[in-house]
Structure 1
Amino acid sequence: MIAAEDPRPPLPPFTLEDAVKKVRMAEDAWNTRDPDRVALAYTPDTRWRNRSEFLNGRDEVRAFLSRKWAKENGYRLIKEIWAHDGHRIAVRFVYEWHDAEGQWFRAHGNENWAFDDQGFMAERHASINDVPIAEADRKFRWPQGPRPQDHPGLTALGL
């Protein structure tokens, strides 16, 4: 028998303040590039669509994130709330990364999230497009890890 996990506040139904906090918490976790830590935010039976890949459960999420961050070097992400209602949050995001040859990319995307009553994400639907950029055009230059609190968000950066 699996032990119950502690809730992951803020819990739904989300206020705007709660939803904004949940989005920043997700951004900060993803910027750690730690698949084990990130996977714990999802229900054990979470369902994902990420681009054209369909995942089921934390183990598949963990394996996916490990592959992702092995390929996407220098990964830095900013998420911004788009909308929220009850147990759902929609975000837009941009992240920058480079491949093994040093080519930089800026990935633009949208995610739709659905949460269970305990604050775990049960569904994640992501659509993402990568655009090659020159290193000089990068906008996300903070040290690896979570974005500093005073770093501008997507709207302030014109993204």
Structure 2
Amino acid sequence: MTEQRPPLPPFDEHSALQKVQGAEDAWNTCDPVKVASGYSEDSVWRNRDSFITGREQIITLLRDKWSRELDYALRKQLWSFSGNRIAVRYQYESHDPSGQWWRSYGNELWEYDEFGLNCRRESSINDIKISESQRRIFGPRSESDRGQDVIALQ
């Protein structure tokens, strides 16, 4: 039997918000195995210019990502939901091994199976160089910050 990852579809606003916050929390751990556990064994991803399938490829992609994107801190926000699908916008900041800071803006489309596992993720991301003094995102969200709007686009 496949492990269930509540909340399960179909989503209402409350359960969609729970999925988004749960994903943000997992990604902020920068633990590829923990993140991959929220995806089905055969999950299909488009991430920037990479097309991958399955947890093992997800883990490999994330290990590579977090070896380049250091001090990674992410904020996600629910954009829309319907049935077993959720759309999200997000921002994250990180620096590369040379010390250059980046802010990344993205949109994701998620599809879930009946067990609450993400079976499809499509992500489009744009990066801008920032200075360390321009940073706005520091570590995981505090409890009092949960549910707040993603930081205004600049």
TM over 0.5: yes
Match for residue 129 of structure 2 among 129, 132, 140: 132
Give the Å deviation of 1:155: 3.0
Any conservation in 2 of the 1:78–1:154 contact (CA below 8 Å)?
A: no
Match for residue 155 of structure 1 among 137, 140, 149: 149
Report the equivalent of 1:39: 36
Give the counterpart letter for 2:40 in structure 1.
T
Are residue 69 (structure 1) and residue 39 (structure 2) matched?
no
Query: Aligned residue pairs: how many?
Result: 153
Give the Å deviation of 1:118: 0.5
Partner Cα separation in structure 2 for residue 95 and residue 138 of structure 1: 10
Are residue 8 (structure 1) and residue 2 (structure 2) matched?
no
Any conservation in 1 of the 2:76–2:150 contact (CA below 8 Å)?
A: no
In structure 2, the CA distance between the partners of 1:152 and 1:115, relative to structure 1 (3 Å rule), is closer
Give the Å deviation of 1:151: 3.0
In structure 2, the CA distance between the partners of 1:37 and 1:152, relative to structure 1 (3 Å rule), is closer
Say what the alpha-carbon RMSD is for the aligned residues. 1.3
Q: State the SS of the aligned residue for 2:145.
A: coil
Any conservation in 2 of the 1:96–1:105 contact (CA below 8 Å)?
A: yes
Percent identical:
46
Partner Cα separation in structure 2 for residue 135 and residue 151 of structure 1: 22
Give the counterpart letter for 2:89 in structure 1.
R
Q: State the SS of the aligned residue for 1:33.
A: coil
Any conservation in 2 of the 1:94–1:154 contact (CA below 8 Å)?
A: no
Report the equivalent of 1:115: 112
Any conservation in 2 of the 1:78–1:153 contact (CA below 8 Å)?
A: no
Give the counterpart letter for 1:73 in structure 2.
L
In structure 2, the CA distance between the partners of 1:7 and 1:152, relative to structure 1 (3 Å rule), is closer
Give the Å deviation of 1:71: 0.7
Partner Cα separation in structure 2 for residue 150 and residue 72 of structure 1: 26
Structure 2 unaligned runs (5+)? none
Give the counterpart letter for 1:157 in structure 2.
I
Partner Cα separation in structure 2 for residue 157 and residue 34 of structure 1: 24
> TM-score, normalization: structure 2?
0.95
Structure 1 unaligned runs (5+)? none
Any conservation in 2 of the 1:50–1:126 contact (CA below 8 Å)?
A: yes
Partner Cα separation in structure 2 for residue 141 and residue 61 of structure 1: 25
